[in-house]
Amino acid sequence: MKKMNGLLLAAIVMLTANGLMAQSYSETALLFSRTRTTGSARILGMGGAQISLGGDFSSAVSNPAGLGMFNRSEFSISPGYLQLNNNGTYYSGTSTISGQNNDSRTALNIPALGIIFSKPQEGEGGFIHGSFGITMTKLNDFNSNVHYKGTNTSSSLIDYFIGQANGGTPDQFGSDGALYNTVTELAYDNYIIGEASILDPSFPSDQYFTDFDPGINSNVLQEESIQTKGAQNQWSFSYGANFNDKFFLGAGLGIVALNFQSHKVFSENFVDQPIKGYTLSEDLQIKGTGLNLTVGGIFRPMDGFQLGAAITTPTRYNLTDNYTASMRSSWDNWDYYGDGSTILNNESAQTDAVTSGYNLTTPWKFSAGASYIFGKSGLISVDVEQLNYGGAKYNTQTSGVSYDSDNKEIKATYASTTNIRAGGEFRLKAFRFRGGFGYMPDPYKSQQNGTSAARTSASAGIGYRASKFYIDIAYINSWSSNTYRPYTIDSDSSPLLKYNQNASNVVATVGFSFNPSLPPAASSGRLSIGPSDIRRTISDAGTSRKMLLPDWLITAMLSKKQGAPPPVAITKSRELLHHFFSSADSSFLK
């Protein structure tokens, strides 16, 4: 027989249906705007500080002016290994439900690759030469696993379903209803909730009940796994120019490919209840492309000291998301209506595929940096980066659809922050030893659930340089704290997962140079050079005295005597010229 003492719960839930997706619109705006530190293994080993350095293919994204410091063409690729660990505690209000909820994820990837085309020129006038780069950089890696479980005696996700349904007749679950294709409709189709008039015809049809009775046994075993994957990858097409080895200017076009996928499985199991349990699965995929533009400059006011600045325009994304959900429930041969017409055992339902198209515009990004190069001994570099995450905005061309409330929420929730990166490099002959750190402050105006979302990182690296080949390896460890609510109810017992995230990333960059600025070595291992080559090499060394050597003097220096070797024939022309002209150019020394 149908029990007539089923509970008629009040409307205590305060959460929109979209809140049960993998991310709300305001959360994805932050997720796609808050990119991670990027670069080659050399740059990552120094904490990501690179705005004023140059001479690295990473400059194509951060500050294209740095490409002007290349004096030869280069191809580089950076394979990487990521291990992400999440460790959390599950709460009901202030009471701990369970601790030590651990999960991890590993991934092999290629966070960066690039090719730089550089053709040094004669150096007449202020313009010396320029370089063009095509690079791919992973701005964000979404690979992550989060898992938790525990017995909750204070609330159930069914509370959320009841709260969402109360106030509307069963028509709200129809194709034109407000709750069509929502998780609450799935609960209704699985008989987890039903209109109160089923219990008693005198009860209102816009109020709902459930057969779960906490008065019999309030234990609810809750478990959820959240798996995300995907990335934001930017292809950059950038150019950097060198003017008198003092000013470097550059610009780059960025094309971003975005792919975010989330798979969530939430389950509840009951004791001594008509319903044994149910499982809710949700899948969300967001895909699209975006465009941005970066312009920047580097100024070298004195030997060894460099200042840099760059501006990146908002990235305008054209996005499409696809959402589906399904629910399965298990019952104890339950006579739902009490008349034998509907016996519940295994029920299931699913939503249609819900597709939305819209635009997201991320905030402006302003970057500045300073570097000092200690001759051939090493360098230090510091960057600051300013973003206002509250400036992200959604819009759409779809008639009747508005994101005004989401944009207001973004503006009210997120703050303007200043990110800091710093690092250094020590050089010992052909070897390089590096270290650095980075700090990204909490992007929220006020802490969420009493937890700061600041992100901190520390890195170390080593490298080796040969004449036409180099290899760098970096280890980056970053850590942050996060919170997640599976559902929210209008009481102090809303469940909350607080978890710490630790990411360990190993990146190796291998680079090969080609089309060097000096002619290839002869069979004797010596280089035959001409006037333009000497001017070019001196230009590479960064001296301002290159114009003191006229062509006739250089030609006379190189003229061959009968039976005698040329007066200028060297095996290490770059090193000797560097000594003669006392240079400390960062790109030459890298």
Q: Above 80 in pLDDT, residue 527?
A: no
Query: How far apart are alpha carbons 388 and 280 in whole angstroms?
Result: 36
Among 3-17, 278-292, 515-529, name the one with the lowest average pLDDT: 3-17
Query: How far apart are alpha carbons 538 and 545 in whole angstroms?
Result: 8
Query: How far apart are alpha carbons 289 and 258 in whole angstroms?
Result: 6
Average pLDDT over residues 128-156: 95
pLDDT digits (tens, 9 = 90+) for 472-494: 999 999 999 999 999 988 778 89
**Buried residues in 307-332 as b, exposed as e (16+ CB within 10 A):** ebbbebbbbbbebebebbbebbbbbe
Among 17-21, 288-292, 332-336, name the one with the lowest average pLDDT: 17-21
Q: Is the four-CA dihedral 517, 523, 526, 529 of positive or negative sign?
A: negative
Q: Are 97 and 148 in contact (CB under 8 A)?
A: no
Task: Indicate the pLDDT class of residue 583, thresholds 50, 70 and 90.
Answer: very low
Residue 160: what residue type? Y
Q: Above 60 in pLDDT, residue 521?
A: no
Query: How far apart are alpha carbons 464 and 469 in whole angstroms?
Result: 9
Q: Is the four-CA dihedral 67, 70, 76, 80 of positive or negative sign?
A: negative
Give 27's contacts (C-beta < 8 A, 6+ positions apart): none
How do beta strands 127-141 and 95-118 pair? antiparallel
Q: Above 90 in pLDDT, residue 407?
A: yes
Residue bearing tokens 């209008």: 490
Query: How far apart are alpha carbons 45 and 463 in whole angstroms?
Result: 10
Average pLDDT over residues 410-425: 97
Question: What percentage of the chain carries pLDDT values higher than 70?
Answer: 83
Average pLDDT over residues 538-550: 40
Q: Above 60 in pLDDT, residue 397?
A: yes
Give 572's contacts (C-beta < 8 A, 6+ positions apart): none
* Between 23 and 196, the higher pLDDT residue: 196
Average pLDDT over residues 534-540: 42
Q: Are 291 and 256 in contact (CB under 8 A)?
A: yes
Here the tokens at position 254 are 């960025």
Average pLDDT over residues 329-358: 95
Q: Above 60 in pLDDT, residue 585?
A: no
Q: Above 60 in pLDDT, residue 70?
A: yes
Q: Above 70 in pLDDT, residue 279?
A: yes
Query: How far apart are alpha carbons 127 and 300 in whole angstroms?
Result: 15
Cα 551 to chain centroid distance, Å, stands at 52
User: Would the pTM of this model clear 0.85, i.e. be above it?
Assistant: no
Structural domains in the chain plus CATH codes: 7-514 (2.40.160.60), 531-589 (no CATH)
The candidate with the shortest Cα–Cα distance to 573, out of 548, 542, 538, is 538
Average pLDDT over residues 237-246: 95
Task: Indicate the pLDDT class of residue 94, thresholds 50, 70 and 90.
Answer: confident
How many other CB atoms sit within 10 Å of the CB of residue 547?
A: 11
Question: DSSP string spanning 378-414?
Answer: EEEEEEEEEEEGGG-EEE--STT---HHHHHHHHHHB
Burial of 126 (0-12, 13-18, 19+ CB in 10 A): exposed
What's the CA dihedral at 531, 536, 540, 543 to 10 degrees?
A: 60
pLDDT at 123: 54
Q: Is the four-CA dihedral 527, 530, 536, 541 of positive or negative sign?
A: positive
pLDDT digits (tens, 9 = 90+) for 202-217: 999 899 999 999 999 9
- What residues pair up with 480 in beta bridges, in sequence order? 455, 501
Average pLDDT over residues 177-181: 95
* Cα atoms found within 13 Å of the Cα of residue 380, Cβ hemisphere only: 3
CA distances from 489 to 346, 475, 485, 525 (A): 28, 42, 10, 78
Here the tokens at position 236 are 């950059």
* Cα atoms found within 13 Å of the Cα of residue 428, Cβ hemisphere only: 5
Mean predicted lDDT score pLDDT of the chain: 86
Query: How far apart are alpha carbons 554 and 531 in whole angstroms?
Result: 6
Q: Above 60 in pLDDT, residue 432?
A: yes
pLDDT digits (tens, 9 = 90+) for 247-274: 999 999 999 999 999 999 999 999 999 9
pLDDT at 530: 41
Average pLDDT over residues 366-384: 97
Burial of 355 (0-12, 13-18, 19+ CB in 10 A): exposed
Q: Map residue 504 onto helix, strand or coil.
A: strand
Q: Above 80 in pLDDT, residue 103?
A: yes
The secondary structure of 408-433, three-state, reads: HHHHHHECEEEEEEEEEEEEECCEEE
pLDDT at 124: 58
Query: How far apart are alpha carbons 488 and 479 in whole angstroms?
Result: 27
pLDDT at 347: 97
Q: ∠454-138-470 over CA atoms, to 5°?
A: 110
pLDDT at 516: 52
Residue 20: what residue type? L
DSSP 8-state code for residue 2: -
Element (H, E) at 502: strand 495-514
Q: Above 70 in pLDDT, residue 243?
A: yes
CA distances from 174 to 161, 169, 178, 183, 421 (A): 16, 10, 8, 13, 53
How do beta strands 343-350 and 378-388 pair? unpaired
Of the ranges 4-13, 124-133, 191-200, the best mean pLDDT one: 191-200
pLDDT at 23: 61
